[in-house]
Amino acid sequence: MSNLFRFWMYCYRLSVPSYMDSTSTAVADYAAFLEKVKRTVYVDNLSPQVTESVIRTALGQFGTVKNVQFIPNYTGPKNIPCCALVEMECLRQAEAVVSEITQFPFMMSGMPRPARAFRAEVEMFDDRPIKPGRRIQCRWVDRKDPDFEVASKIKRLVRKHAAEDLFLLQQQLAQEEKLAKQQEETLKANYKKFSIIDNVVSDGTAPGLAKFYNMKAFDS
Amino acid sequence: MVEAKKVENIEFKWGKQKGVGGKKKDVKFYEAFSYDRVEYALYDSVYMYKEGETEPYIAKLMKIWENADKTKKVKVLWFFCPREISNYLGDEKTPENELFLASGEGVGSTNVNPLEAIAGKCNVVCSSKDSRNPQPSDEELQEADFVFYRTFDVGKCRILDKIDDKIAGIEVKFLLNRVGNQSSSGVPKLDSNKKVSGNVVATNDTRILTRTESYLGEKATSSSRVKFNEVTKINDRLVDNSGEMASSSSKVVQISDIKPSLANQKSSPGENSASNLGLGEMTEDNKKEGMPSDIIASSSKDGVGWIESKVDKVFAYQVLIEEKVKVAKDCGDLDDRPSKKAKLDDLAKASYDNKVTGVQKVSHDSNGSNSKSVAQTTPASEDKSKSNLTKDHHEKNSSLSKRPKPDEKLTRLANDKFPEASLRQPSEEGSKTNCQIQEVTRRPEAPWEERMQTAHEQETLVLLQNLDPSYTSAEVEDIIWHAFKQSCTVKMIQRTALASPHSGQAFVIFQKREVAEMAVAKLDEGCLMLSNGRPVVGSIAAPCFPGKQSTFFGHLAINKLRTHKQREMKEAVSTSHCSQPNTLEYEMAMDWCLLQERSDLALRKLRQQQRQELRKLWVTLKCK
């Protein structure tokens, strides 16, 4: 996609195109980009051990995986799960991936926390083309302007929201940790029970007892 | 229905004999024969019609022989058409006339049929780039009825690109294109698209059945699988099915003597068909239009099908068929040539496009920046290219700051930024996307990350908030340019599921620390308002670099097992799967799902609240 974009740009620099020229190619690029977005799946709740090949094999079951791009986490707290954008070959495959993963808990590189999958959105891509026809305006607001006051309030609000987000994330992490610990305990207990039973069966105690009580169990 | 008399013999003549065989040495193998005035030779591709089917099957003649009782048999190796193995092709679009040669061990690759089942000769060209295959000319490819270059392994149920050395016991070189010219002139062009109500049937209905079921319907169910052995020696075996065509539970009765079985057939009243010919039997249920079950192929131009049966219905049917065949032939070439041509064109065009754009990319680079051409497609020199690109970008940066000056358009602050934006962005975009396209790996965009790290150390990294989330990095760079008259590099932070939809964020790398500080100060004290009433919030960024995260909550492992079965554990970890409802893992997964739902709910509520707060203030803005 970006190849086409550069190609267009190259043309642009050679000659001065009319406004219409540049928009039409830009529109085409943007349309192509949107199409790509539709085909892409956003996968979440990934363990840091998940690599590109893991995703490829995992989602390769649903079709052909064209591209895998991890979204790096530069802003958030350190322990939040990883996420990735997976581009599939066609829209149908992307939908299949999303529906399967949402309906059934899909494990990747570990159990039992399932991964999540959504359809990708435009803002998730960082190499996106410009939306054609968009005009951006900016201005410096004067102090005397009444809007200045409002703007300052907004700025403060934005900062507050960012802090709130961070706080919420940390709370979520704490809860996740709690659940994980809880499950680990359950798992250990279950495993203990299982290994006891296993040992008893394998070392002959159980069959012996069964014979003694005339039971038919534990006959291998 | 026309009542025909006894059917004439279709002209037949044996060609060169190849040898003798069989237990009593009374079986004669041949290399060629002429049937209905068409010359056939070993390894030719032929059409074989089945009753009730509109499309013929295509096969290669592997062995030709005549038994002691004068019955003529051929062993054929099947070609699959894309329709039949659509399950295994997936979404791949194959040209209409592509075939797949059967290969591998298993049911369904070859069959023994009566020679009379042959409906005509077919021109199949092998377009494989295999070194053993004489490459066909373009003309040959276009004239060909069908093309194949891949095989379908019936044992593994997979499409293979590589051709083995031996398929069905025959060396592959015989199956590929013949050395020398392939005479296609003598091939009667049977239009496979035309509706020719079923002529011949390969004897083994069941074989076809299993093929159909295996490859068309569900993946082969063992219940419907017919167990029959590959015929290597000549045996008068006829396999017939008494079940329904489409049902999955078809019984197969293997008989060694044909006649009694025919007598047992309930469906064919009074039809003692040419047992020698080994015709396929079908029950009433199978009959689509109540057609008789003993039908043999006929592709004769003039003759009627040659059968030894004395059934009137059959004759009439034959005549019917023969007429239709004639019609089909007359209409000549309705091959899927146009579609094939189109496909070839597309492929050529696509590859050409790639080449063109590749060339453009390189030339643009050398044009756009002062750096040398960047080695973009050599994966070997990835590191080098990475450093090249960073260098490239830095040079671009410096060149950018010079560039705006000669350009008069970039004087106004306010309106009409689009053309300028479009002028500047693509170069940036292009180069930036260049950088980013390179590194699609686990640690992505290392140049950006490196740059960010160095910027952070040098304190030139600034975080902007409250941007419109749909801005792109290039647009933000332009905004910075216009606001501060400074050029910089920007990366919009990709939005994840947790990020706020109201405010977009971006990292900005300024040239110098003072510039960064100045910008932040200005944004703090003053107010840079973007469209939609968004004052930009800026701060010195404190990014966290994703290091080796070891704490991921939710993936459990049993520690004890690890010591004993390390390798297994490793393997266990790497398989991705959907959890089954009857396992402990599933219940735990449900716990996680529940937790996730709760978190989502909390996040949604928070966002709602934030949106309301923001809206309250936005409304009071006088000019937006």
Choosing from A99, A123, A147, the residue where a domain stops is A123
Answer yes or no: is pLDDT of B169 > 80: no
Which range marks the domain in which residue A182 is found?
138-220
What is the arithmetic mean of pLDDT over B532-561?
69
3-state secondary structure B552-579: CCCEECCHHHHHHCHHHHHHHHHCCEEC
- State percent of chain B over pLDDT 70: 50
Q: Is residue A204 part of a domain?
A: yes
Chain B partners within 8 Å of A158 (Cβ):
465-466, 503, 537
Does A27 contact B at CB distance below 8 Å? no
pLDDT of residue B141: 82
Does A28 contact B at CB distance below 8 Å? no
Tell me: do A92 and A142 sit in the same domain.
no
What is the arithmetic mean of pLDDT over A113-132?
79
Tell me: do A112 and A43 sit in the same domain.
yes
| Count: domains in chain A | 2
Check if the beta carbon of residue B386 is closer than 8 Å to that of residue B439. yes
**Distance of alpha carbon B342 from alpha carbon B321, whole angstroms:** 33
pLDDT of residue B575: 65
How far out from the chain centre does Cα A152 lie?
34
Minimal C-alpha gap between A60 and chain B (Å): 11
Q: Is residue A10 part of a domain?
A: no
Tell me: do A108 and A165 sit in the same domain.
no
| B187-206 pLDDT per residue, tens | 444 444 443 333 333 334 43
Answer yes or no: is pLDDT of B87 > 50: yes
Tell me: do A143 and A98 sit in the same domain.
no
| B431-467 pLDDT per residue, tens | 444 454 554 444 444 577 788 888 888 888 888 888 8
What is the arithmetic mean of pLDDT over A193-203?
86
Tell me: do A115 and A148 sit in the same domain.
no
- Choose from A78-87, B289-298, B537-546 the range with maximum mean pLDDT: A78-87
pLDDT of residue A87: 87
- Put simply, the answer to whether A77 touches B444 (Cβ < 8 Å) is no
Residues 6+ apart with CB under 8 A from A191: B558, B560
Q: Is residue A205 part of a domain?
A: yes
Chain B partners within 8 Å of A186 (Cβ):
588
pLDDT of residue A142: 74
What is the arithmetic mean of pLDDT over A8-31?
55
Q: How does A53-62 read in b/e, with b if 16+ C-beta sit within 10 Å?
A: ebbeebbeeb
Q: Is residue A190 part of a domain?
A: yes
Q: Is residue A83 part of a domain?
A: yes
Tell me: do A119 and A142 sit in the same domain.
no
Whether the complex's predicted ipTM is more than 0.95 is answered with no
What element of type H or E holds B321? helix B312-330
Q: Higher pLDDT residue, B115 or A134?
A: B115
Of the pLDDT bands very low, low, confident and very high (cuts 50, 70, 90), residue B297 is very low
pLDDT of residue B66: 87
For position A107, which CATH number holds?
3.30.70.330
Of the pLDDT bands very low, low, confident and very high (cuts 50, 70, 90), residue A22 is low
Of B274, B223, B263, B266, give the one whose Cα is nearest residue B242: B266
pLDDT of residue B414: 37
Tell me: do A165 and A190 sit in the same domain.
yes
- Which residue of chain A comes nearest to B552, CA vs CA? A47
Check if the beta carbon of residue B380 is closer than 8 Å to that of residue B356. no
Q: Higher pLDDT residue, B507 or B335?
A: B507
What element of type H or E holds A178? helix A146-202
pLDDT of residue A203: 82
pLDDT of residue B550: 57
Choosing from A96, A123, A150, the residue where a domain stops is A123
Q: Report the alpha-carbon angle B52-B56-B58, nearest 5.
A: 145
What is the arithmetic mean of pLDDT over B610-618?
85
For chains A and B, count residue pairs whose Cβ atoms are closer than 8 Å.
Answer: 351
Q: Higher pLDDT residue, B246 or A55?
A: A55
- State percent of chain B over pLDDT 90: 0
- Put simply, the answer to whether A165 touches B498 (Cβ < 8 Å) is yes
Q: Is residue A2 part of a domain?
A: no
Tell me: do A113 and A143 sit in the same domain.
no
Q: Is residue A147 part of a domain?
A: yes
Answer yes or no: is pLDDT of B361 > 80: no
Q: Higher pLDDT residue, B399 or B34?
A: B34
pLDDT of residue B623: 62
Tell me: do A106 and A161 sit in the same domain.
no
**Distance of alpha carbon B43 from alpha carbon B168, whole angstroms:** 12
What is the arithmetic mean of pLDDT over B73-94?
81
Interhelix angle B382-402/B418-438, nearest 10 degrees:
160
What is the arithmetic mean of pLDDT over B19-41?
84
Residue A48 tokens read as: 């840091």
Does A96 contact B at CB distance below 8 Å? no
Mean pLDDT of chain B: 62
Q: Is residue A70 part of a domain?
A: yes
Chain A partners within 8 Å of B472 (Cβ):
128-130
Q: Higher pLDDT residue, A19 or B113?
A: B113
Mapped onto helix, strand or coil, the DSSP state of residue A55 is helix
Tell me: do A38 and A119 sit in the same domain.
yes
Tell me: do A105 and A59 sit in the same domain.
yes
Answer yes or no: is pLDDT of A135 > 70: yes
Of the pLDDT bands very low, low, confident and very high (cuts 50, 70, 90), residue B8 is low
Does B605 contact A at CB distance below 8 Å? no
Choosing from A123, A146, A181, the residue where a domain stops is A123
Of B96, B57, B94, B91, give the one whose Cα is nearest residue B74: B57
| B132-146 pLDDT per residue, tens | 888 888 888 888 888
Of the pLDDT bands very low, low, confident and very high (cuts 50, 70, 90), residue B45 is confident
3-state secondary structure B389-421: HHHHHHHHHHHHHHCCCCCCCCCCCCCCCHHHH
Tell me: do A76 and A111 sit in the same domain.
yes
- Choose from A61-70, B1-10, B443-452, B543-552 the range with maximum mean pLDDT: A61-70
- Put simply, the answer to whether A6 touches B618 (Cβ < 8 Å) is no
**Distance of alpha carbon A87 from alpha carbon A65, whole angstroms:** 6
